[in-house]
Amino acid sequence: MKVLLVSPRTPETFWNFKHALSYIGKRAAFPPLGLLTVAAMAPSEWEKKLIDLNVERLKNSDIEWADIVFVTAMLIQTPSVKRIIKRVKEMGKTVVAGGPAFTTSQEIFDGVDHFVLNEAEVTFPLFIEDLKKGTLKQVYTSEEKPNLYDTPIPLWNLVDIQKYSTMSIQNSRGCPFNCEFCDIISMFGRIPRFKKPEQVVAELESLYVAGWRASVFIVDDNFIGHKIKVKELLREIIKWQELRNYPFKLLTEASINLAEDEELLTLMSRANFNKVFVGIETPDKNSLAECDKVQNMKVDLIEAIKLIQQNGMQVMAGFIVGFDNDTPDIFNTMPKFIQESGIVSAMVGVLQPLPQTRLWDRLEKEKRIYRASNGENKGEVHFEPTMGSEALEKGYKELLQNIYKPSKYYQRLNIFLKSYKPTAKGQLTKQDINALFISFWRIGILSNARFFYWYMIFKTLLLKKKTFPMCVELAIHGEHFRKSALEFLKRTEKKSVQQG
């Protein structure tokens, strides 16, 4: 059996860091972890080939080679995966589809022969069994939430890991919280399920053996969803990092209550975490209450962010505008909060009603949804907000122009440096040095941020040398955010002219 696994192209977002990747000679931020794991679950006698459209082209010869084609996608990848399905079917091949987009929105995809939905540990073996018997069904689905003890190590040899800036592994699924807009709960439940610590360490070791020596993203929905278990894991990671002389800097996603646990902060710092993404969403207490973001209401958000920064971790954060309790004043209070917090990598989007979320159910009942969300939270309004679509779109554009302008961005960077105490270990790589020299030219000469850039470079070298690598990285990310925001603003302006 010859199996082709295809990962669709991800469009321009804040998350894909498209404009930053060229500084380090990489083609994509993250590998297709889901497909690599599914490939490891498949029978060893199958011949397997993986094509990631974010780093290479899908050729007709690839499709012709295959007996069967597996595709996966997130909602934001829907246009790309639809083109893949159409192309594969035109060449007479069987299409098997799974992953978040198909699990939550199966009905929007034509041409799929077999859907393998929900969690692959449960449904993929059923598909394989029926394939062997010649009794395949169109849909394989299950509400079972499996433990992850038998989840295999991804087949890293199916991709060229050096084409990516960051490798990914998964430790757990599920989140104990119940935010109204989040689809994690509907897909993976509220009781986090974990791999054994030795499994996670084995995955880190597999990356080390494969030659990886850079960042590793632990892609959990909420890394600290079960603090006792994650502390057990961290102690094992610390031992492994010490044994291997800290080959990996780690990053993950966590809830803000991380700041309430001093031991957890210390363990993450010792394990060599240098970044954590936190869903801040909004500084408005009424909007937090509206979306059931209760964990954010129990702490002083700015104090919590500063505490995480003081423990050696840059806080990257997601923000949302468009809640029912938002008024036009949010476009003043949110940028003020972002500046005061020193969150340099602030990713702001418009509220999106995703399928199978409580938000979707509520807005659909209220007849307020215009069209299904495409998973892209940058700008498009898919529902009727209480402040009105025009006010939301206008305020959002002004907010983007505000927070990503060089003066504001570098002001945040300086505020961040006052709290940040770097703890991560690891040597500068050739890739880091190349990125520095490229930034001298692209940002220091060509960019309209050059004055702020050089001021930051010299100030950091003179006063806070240990923060210098992070500062250069954030300067490069600033170019990505500005260009990404500018592309969005130009696109929406062009769309407005065409509609007008």
Q: 257-268, pLDDT tens digit by residue? A: 999 999 999 999
Residues 124 and 227 in one domain: no
Does the residue 191 lie in any domain? Answer: yes
pLDDT single digits (tens) 330-363: 999 999 999 999 999 999 999 999 999 999 999 9
Residue 161 has pLDDT above 90, yes or no: yes
Residue 145 has pLDDT above 90, yes or no: yes
pLDDT for 374 equals 73
Does the residue 330 lie in any domain? Answer: yes
Residues 276 and 378 in one domain: yes
Does the residue 380 lie in any domain? Answer: yes
pLDDT for 7 equals 98
Residue 368 has pLDDT above 70, yes or no: yes
pLDDT single digits (tens) 456-476: 999 999 999 999 999 999 999
pLDDT single digits (tens) 35-93: 999 999 999 999 999 999 999 999 999 999 999 999 999 999 999 999 999 999 999 99
Domain boundary among 140, 155, 178: 140
- CATH code, domain with 31: 3.40.50.280
Does the residue 152 lie in any domain? Answer: no
Residue 499 has pLDDT above 80, yes or no: no
Domain count, the chain: 3
Q: N- to C-terminal Cα distance for the chain?
A: 54
pLDDT single digits (tens) 409-435: 999 999 999 999 999 999 888 889 999
pLDDT for 203 equals 98
Residues 450 and 381 in one domain: no
Residue 120 has pLDDT above 90, yes or no: yes
Q: Which long-range contacts (CB under 8 A, 24 or more apart) does 261-266 make?
A: 261/224, 261/227, 263/231, 264/224, 264/227, 264/230, 264/231, 264/234, 265/307, 265/308, 265/311, 266/311
Rounded-to-integer distance, Cα 90 and Cα 98, Å: 20
pLDDT for 350 equals 95
- Residue among 322, 319, 331, 321 nearest 384 (CA): 322
Does the residue 149 lie in any domain? Answer: no
Rounded-to-integer distance, Cα 441 and Cα 450, Å: 9
Does the residue 383 lie in any domain? Answer: yes
Residues 413 and 432 in one domain: no
**Average pLDDT, stretch 170-175?**
97
Residues 194 and 265 in one domain: yes
Would you place residue 29 in the very low, low, confident or very high pLDDT band (cuts 50, 70, 90)?
very high
pLDDT single digits (tens) 271-285: 999 999 999 999 999
Residues 395 and 259 in one domain: yes
pLDDT for 378 equals 65
Residues 185 and 279 in one domain: yes
pLDDT for 498 equals 58
Does the residue 85 lie in any domain? Answer: yes
Residues 106 and 182 in one domain: no
Domain boundary among 107, 140, 173: 140
Q: What is the dihedral sign for C-alpha 425, 431, 437, 439?
A: negative
pLDDT for 353 equals 94
Domain boundary among 395, 418, 441: 418
pLDDT for 430 equals 85
- CATH code, domain with 405: 3.20.20.70
Does the residue 157 lie in any domain? Answer: no
pLDDT for 495 equals 66
pLDDT for 491 equals 82
**Average pLDDT, stretch 141-166?**
97
pLDDT single digits (tens) 122-143: 999 999 999 999 999 999 999 9
Burial classification of residue 141, based on how many CB atoms lie within 10 Å of its CB (0-12 exposed, 13-18 middle, 19 or more buried): middle
Residue 231 has pLDDT above 80, yes or no: yes
Residues 384 and 435 in one domain: no
Residues 315 and 207 in one domain: yes
Residue 302 has pLDDT above 80, yes or no: yes
- The three-state DSSP-derived secondary structure of the chain is CEEEEEECCCCCCCCCCHHHHHHHCCCECCCCHHHHHHHHHCCCCCEEEEEECCCCCCCHHHHHHCCEEEEECCHHHHHHHHHHHHHHHHCCCEEEEECHHHHHHHHHCCCCCEEECCCHHHHHHHHHHHHHHCCCCCEECCCCCCCCCCCCCCCHHHCCHHHECEEEECCEECCCCCCCCCCHHHHHCCCCEECCHHHHHHHHHHHHHCCCCCEEEECCCCCCCCHHHHHHHHHHHHHHHHHCCCCCCEEEECCHHHHHCHHHHHHHHHCCEEEEEEEEECCCHHHHHHCCCHHHHCCCHHHHHHHHHHCCCEEEEEEEECCCCCCCCHHHHHHHHHHHHCCCCEEEEECCCCCCCHHHHHHHHCCCECCCCCCCCCCCCCECCCCCHHHHHHHHHHHHHHHCCHHHHHHHHHHHHHHCCCCCCCCCCHHHHHHHHHHHHHHHHHCCCHHHHHHHHHHHHHHCHHHHHHHHHHHHHHHHHHHHHHHHHHHHHHHHHHHC
Residues 207 and 225 in one domain: yes
> Which residue range forms the structural domain that includes residue 322?
165-418
Residue 371 has pLDDT above 90, yes or no: no
